[in-house]
A = this chain, B = another copy of it.
Amino acid sequence: MFIDELVKRIKEKKSNVVVGLDPRIESIPKIVKDQCFEKYGNTLKAVGKAILGFNKEIIDYVYDIVPAVKPQIAFYEQYGLEGLKAYIETCKYAKEKGLVVIGDIKRGDIGSTSEAYSNAHLGNVNIEGVIHETFAVDSITVNPYMGGDTLEAFIKEINEKDKGMFVLVKTSNKGSGQLQDLEVAGKKIYEVVAELVDEIGKQSLGKCGYSSIGAVVGATYKEQSKSLRKKMPKTYFLVPGYGAQGGTAEDIIHCFNEDGLGAVINSSRGIIFAYKNAGYTEEKYGEAARTEALKMRDAINKVLIANGKCYY
């Protein structure tokens, strides 16, 4: 099961940190970009090459200290086919390095269309007997607005191919409350979604006791994570919003269960563009990312241990 693989890596690496691979070209070090622009001109191909080169270096520097990476597909999609080629190659490289890959794609549609997304991002397509994988990763993020049938369409791949998904429950952005916090019969909308995810998740429980169907719960909402943790004890949380978006190690403590498991915490800019911080140079962007990922890992572990939640 996907979730067993994820938990195994978390324990091995003593780390709950997910590195978000969101490669904004304007933030990629000049030394990486210039090489590609010289060779391929100011083209999307050059951008794709720069992104891939950058990501590989980041992966080389973090693969032994984090369980997973999370490429945000929008940052690849905006560079067209060349960008998406870099997405595919990045996922492949991360996988080779033993990392769990979570595609942050936030897809979701009516059942038959969700099945097509499921083929694309978890499974494969069968062309006259020949199997083709396209964007397949280990797990994806899914948007629940269209209802339970949207989510059900991904379960076949999840159970048959040991894949996973994280359903948006309470997102980390400022405007998330506009719909998610509305109250129906004493329950917030995000709690209704949480119950739906908890229920659906029972179909995909791993040996570790958690489900391969997880939830996205923003680090920026401490109190909400506390109540959600209770509401969905067997659901793994993918927690965005740490670092650049404002969340701290103290903020995310309630995302974890008493066993110190139950959550992976993502940081993107805060790790991959750490070279911009004081004390680093552009050349050492890989090293800077590693240092920040270690700092984040240790900060989270420290708070977990202080709360009696050691997991390794």
Residue of B nearest to A117 (CB): B74
Q: Which residues of B contact A78 (CB under 8 A)?
A: 116-117, 119-120, 125, 134
Q: Which residues of B contact A299 (CB under 8 A)?
A: none
B37, B43, B129, B178: which contacts A147 (Cβ < 8 A)?
B178
A111 to chain B, nearest CB (A): 6
Give chain A interface residues in 120-171, CB to chain B under 8 Å: 120-121, 125, 127-130, 132, 134-135, 143-150, 168, 171
Q: Which residues of B contact A106 (CB under 8 A)?
A: 107-109, 143
- For residue A177, CB closer than 8 A to chain B, the reply is yes
- For residue A305, CB closer than 8 A to chain B, the reply is no
Contact A147 B176 (CB under 8 A): yes
- For residue A25, CB closer than 8 A to chain B, the reply is yes
**Alpha-carbon gap, A78 to B184, bound state (A):** 37
Contact A80 B134 (CB under 8 A): yes
Interface string of A31-49 (1 = CB under 8 A from B): 0000001000111101100
B120, B150, B182: which contacts A173 (Cβ < 8 A)?
B150
Q: Which residues of B contact A208 (CB under 8 A)?
A: none
Partner-binding segment picked from A188-196, A224-232, A258-266: A188-196
10 A–B contacts from the bound complex (CB under 8 Å): A74-B113, A75-B116, A77-B116, A80-B134, A81-B134, A84-B84, A110-B172, A144-B179, A182-B189, A184-B184
- Given A145-B171, A146-B180; 4 other pairs, CB 8 A cutoff: A22-B113, A37-B128, A42-B127, A81-B134
Those 8 A-B pairs whose CB atoms lie nearest each other, nearest first: A147-B175, A80-B134, A149-B175, A147-B178, A74-B116, A110-B173, A145-B145, A78-B120
Residue numbers of A with Cβ under 8 A of B are: 22, 25, 37, 41-44, 46-47, 72, 74-75, 77-81, 83-85, 88, 106-111, 113-114, 116-117, 119-121, 125, 127-130, 132, 134-135, 143-150, 168, 171-180, 182-185, 189, 192-193, 196, 240
